[in-house]
Chains A and B, each alone.
Chain A
């Protein structure tokens, strides 16, 4: 608490007139409104105080005539505090100072605001297009309220993203948009000199689905968790829980303790299967398919367990605003315990078999090295940071749901390479098993699964929620709106933060290590891109004949 008061006083004193207002939402959040011109100064003060930059959110406020707003959030991990800095600009001149020069991790958030809301940033080093496709017309900003959610500008053919020229003496090897080591569309143009990587440019956001826009226009509060769950194919629960927590915080809803425990169980089950999935994929990426198959065999038990608990192996659909949908009764708890016992046993034997395998060390040790200082500079999170000696974990630092009552370790190692991330993830598997067991023992025996609400959620409230996803901390920011739906919902997936540091990890490694280095952050491209509105019912599908497709692809290749 002291920290919160201290920061408040400090900001007030330093900013003087530029300090417009504050909102003390609970113990762990501090909202401050500052004047546009003092943004960089505020950020500097906060960073000096040891903050970690999280995310930038832009929105158009429908009410209150405050024009366009930009929110930056800063986490103080040691004090369980998150400071949210809000600043406003008039609609006809949405110009802000860029934070990227002092915080490189802010680069993407700002570029996203440029694309989606038409903000302008002073001093931004590379305001290239990030989110929107290259043929999207200039001047239409999808997240503005006057743009309909199903707007479909005609596609143009000859607009392409201009990739940078490779440095002299190197040639480009294109990884993507479709490549067998990237499981989702993303494009890395890797500059190589022989087999050595000398640099790389990333172009992603090819699966931008417009989910945030959809939630702000078409969906209602309790539709969003199910869409949120589909942001990610692996850690869906993270997003639905996160969204629900943000809405609950904004509306001041307190859900039952039992529901919180059930949420934790689902989150940890998800972590289990996600880490096993990663272990398998990592094996595959270094050409060790037996590890891939065996890790996935073990993982399959968890998938089946989830199917029995929730009705689906992956999209659990457990979370709604106000609680959860299905109960974990005695019988199911026994089932979970049984499966965990088997998974633990199998995991131990798998670990013993691979942890001392010299051939695996050869491919992972010293690969993708990044020092602790660099990791801090890029605000890395999750296992990627914990493999570099940074002990951050949102479950401990900003406890949510029932984590404050649970005891667990946060494994940290300081190898700084791919091997480190492997060790951290393997250890986290055991921690997850331990957490679930505790949950089953500590869970209160009664309590409603979902609480009833007798009044609508008031509009204009803001809240931020963090959840430690298997890949690191995921951040959701919600601004409540009218008509039973959020006005702005911003998702920052962990990969969003980690991916920005990948070019640096790739530097001076071998081309053969590209897949495993990119794999080491466990990239989830669809989470990062999250947001193409699909309206299957309306799409005019032109079925192309095979010959047509071939001619097109050939023509393009020979022309290009």
Chain B
């Protein structure tokens, strides 16, 4: 079962992630009074990209390595997590640090790829991405640490279930912080600043095409799904553990609802500038620190 769970994880995230993007696109389209693409469009897009020529525009080896690294570390992340409360073989032998480390590695590879491409737009995108990582990783780390503090354990599953152990001040504060940071985690408006199509033409990805770009897209899709999933399991774990499939279904429903929220907010906001976003992130970091403080106090 523990080995099988790994594959369930893999299949769950790989198969569902593009669909969720489809949901997002359809909803955005509806808010914009458009028909929108069919829900399965992201799968077709990925297939199409995979069939295209891989144009390697930079002689730097990091350029080729970056998409692979980003994708594989993101995959590693989703392999580690206890889906529907079921621990698998890998989540046993890892802890929170592994998770945070892998997540950062994924973001970091995008950055490396962008810098290796030598494109000025990618450069601007990379610098924005860097600032975003620096400001946002702490918020994520604090969320997980709050769980660790509450459950007094550093394993992934106990930390995740620890956040919602008691619904004190720290829980609510962290919930608000996480929700406020969610748009930034999934890089949608108003915080899709590193990609900002009209200014810097998808920033870090500007030189990528074909399969390389498909990997990046896939990474982004899985990343979005992961952050939504993380919210659902850590803040909304009211369902008592029992049937694995039932729980999985509920989690999926949670993710879907969250994606609706993300799409609606994304479609009704302009993009912020990086300097405005940084101020906002700083506030979030401070708030999450307070939440940890409260958590340590046991509130």
B is bound to A: yes
A290 touches B193 (CB 8 A): no
B186 CB → nearest A CB, Å: 15
Residues from chain B with Cβ under 8 Å of A512 in the complex = 193, 196, 199, 271, 273-274
> A81-89, A200-208, A223-231, A359-367: which lies at the B interface?
A359-367
* Cβ of B134 under 8 Å from chain A: no
Residues from chain A with Cβ under 8 Å of B273 in the complex = 195, 362-363, 510, 512-513
A195 touches B274 (CB 8 A): yes
Taking A173-B120, A286-B270 as given, write out 10 further A-B residue pairs in contact, using a Cβ cutoff of 8 Å, ordered by the A residue number: A174-B120, A192-B124, A195-B275, A286-B271, A287-B196, A290-B31, A291-B270, A360-B270, A510-B274, A512-B199
* Cβ of B170 under 8 Å from chain A: no
B272 touches A363 (CB 8 A): yes
Q: Please, how many angstroms separate the alpha-carbon atoms of A194 and B268 in the complex? A: 29
* Cβ of A63 under 8 Å from chain B: no
Q: Answer whether A359 and B274 are a contact pair too, CB < 8 Å, given A180-B201, A297-B33, A512-B199.
A: no
Taking CB as reference atom, which chain A residue is nearest B267? A290
A173 touches B190 (CB 8 A): no
B120 touches which of A171, A291, A294, A362 (Cβ 8 Å): A171
* Cβ of A557 under 8 Å from chain B: yes
B41 CB → nearest A CB, Å: 17
* Cβ of A313 under 8 Å from chain B: no
Residues from chain A with Cβ under 8 Å of B200 in the complex = 511
Q: Answer whether A511 and B124 are a contact pair too, CB < 8 Å, given A288-B271, A362-B272, A362-B276.
A: yes
Residue with the greatest number of chain B CB neighbours at <10 A, chosen from A288, A290, A513: A290
A-B contact pairs, 8 of them (CB 8 A): A173-B120, A284-B198, A287-B197, A290-B268, A293-B32, A359-B272, A512-B271, A512-B274
Q: Mark A207-241, 1 if CB is under 8 A from B, else 0.
A: 00000000000000000000000000000000000
Q: Please, how many angstroms separate the alpha-carbon atoms of A510 and B277 in the complex? A: 13
How many residues of chain A get a CB closer than 8 Å to chain B's CBs?
Answer: 34
Residues from chain B with Cβ under 8 Å of A172 in the complex = 120
Q: Answer whether A283 and B120 are a contact pair too, CB < 8 Å, given A180-B197, A293-B34, A510-B275.
A: no
Q: Please, how many angstroms separate the alpha-carbon atoms of A360 and B201 in the complex? A: 21
Taking CB as reference atom, which chain A residue is nearest B273? A512
B199 touches A515 (CB 8 A): yes
Residues from chain A with Cβ under 8 Å of B199 in the complex = 181, 511-512, 514-515
Q: Answer whether A283 and B270 are a contact pair too, CB < 8 Å, given A180-B197, A180-B201.
A: yes
Q: Answer whether A359 and B32 are a contact pair too, CB < 8 Å, given A195-B274, A511-B124.
A: no
Taking CB as reference atom, which chain A residue is nearest B31? A290
* Cβ of B143 under 8 Å from chain A: no
B33 touches A287 (CB 8 A): no
A288 touches which of B33, B270, B274 (Cβ 8 Å): B270
How many residues of chain B get a CB closer than 8 Å to chain A's CBs?
Answer: 30
Q: Please, how many angstroms separate the alpha-carbon atoms of A360 and B269 in the complex? A: 8
Q: Mark A505-528, 1 if CB is under 8 A from B, else 0.
A: 000001111110000000000000
Residues from chain A with Cβ under 8 Å of B198 in the complex = 180-181, 284-285, 287, 515
A169 CB → nearest B CB, Å: 16
Taking CB as reference atom, which chain B residue is nearest A182? B198
A286 CB → nearest B CB, Å: 4
Q: Please, how many angstroms separate the alpha-carbon atoms of A47 and B34 in the complex? A: 52
A289 touches B274 (CB 8 A): no
Q: Answer whether A179 and B201 are a contact pair too, CB < 8 Å, given A287-B270, A294-B32, A512-B273.
A: yes
Taking CB as reference atom, which chain B residue is nearest A361? B270
List residues of chain A with CB under 8 Å of any chain B CB: 171-174, 179-181, 192, 194-195, 283-294, 297, 359-360, 362-363, 510-515, 557
**Interface members, chain B 237-287 (any A CB < 8 Å):** 267-276
A277 CB → nearest B CB, Å: 16
**4 tightest Cβ-Cβ pairs between the two chains A and B:** A287-B271, A293-B32, A288-B270, A286-B270
**Interface members, chain B 1-39 (any A CB < 8 Å):** 28, 31-34
Q: Answer whether A359 and B269 are a contact pair too, CB < 8 Å, given A287-B196, A288-B189, A510-B275.
A: yes
Residues from chain A with Cβ under 8 Å of B32 in the complex = 289-290, 292-294
* Cβ of B129 under 8 Å from chain A: no
Q: Please, how many angstroms separate the alpha-carbon atoms of A305 and B90 in the complex? A: 64
Q: Please, how many angstroms separate the alpha-carbon atoms of A479 and B81 in the complex? A: 78
Residues from chain A with Cβ under 8 Å of B178 in the complex = none
Q: Please, how many angstroms separate the alpha-carbon atoms of A514 and B199 in the complex? A: 7
Taking CB as reference atom, which chain B residue is nearest A175? B199
* Cβ of B121 under 8 Å from chain A: yes
B53 CB → nearest A CB, Å: 9
* Cβ of B54 under 8 Å from chain A: no
Residues from chain B with Cβ under 8 Å of A514 in the complex = 199
Residues from chain B with Cβ under 8 Å of A510 in the complex = 273-275
Q: Please, how many angstroms separate the alpha-carbon atoms of A441 and B267 in the complex? A: 41
Taking CB as reference atom, which chain B residue is nearest A179? B201
Q: Please, how many angstroms separate the alpha-carbon atoms of A289 and B31 in the complex? A: 10
Taking CB as reference atom, which chain A residue is nearest B128? A195
Q: Please, how many angstroms separate the alpha-carbon atoms of A194 and B130 in the complex? A: 13
A351 CB → nearest B CB, Å: 16
Q: Please, how many angstroms separate the alpha-carbon atoms of A512 and B193 in the complex? A: 9
B276 CB → nearest A CB, Å: 6
* Cβ of B57 under 8 Å from chain A: yes
Residues from chain B with Cβ under 8 Å of A174 in the complex = 120
Residues from chain B with Cβ under 8 Å of A294 in the complex = 32-33
A557 touches B120 (CB 8 A): no
B275 touches A289 (CB 8 A): no
Q: Answer whether A557 and B31 are a contact pair too, CB < 8 Å, given A363-B272, A511-B124, A515-B199.
A: no
Residues from chain A with Cβ under 8 Å of B275 in the complex = 195, 510
A19 CB → nearest B CB, Å: 53
Q: Mark B99-113, 1 if CB is under 8 A from A, else 0.
A: 000000000000000
Residues from chain A with Cβ under 8 Å of B201 in the complex = 179-180
Q: Please, how many angstroms separate the alpha-carbon atoms of A438 and B275 in the complex? A: 48
Taking CB as reference atom, which chain B residue is nearest A558? B59
B194 CB → nearest A CB, Å: 11
Q: Please, how many angstroms separate the alpha-carbon atoms of A515 and B199 in the complex? A: 6
A287 touches which of B28, B34, B121, B190 (Cβ 8 Å): B190
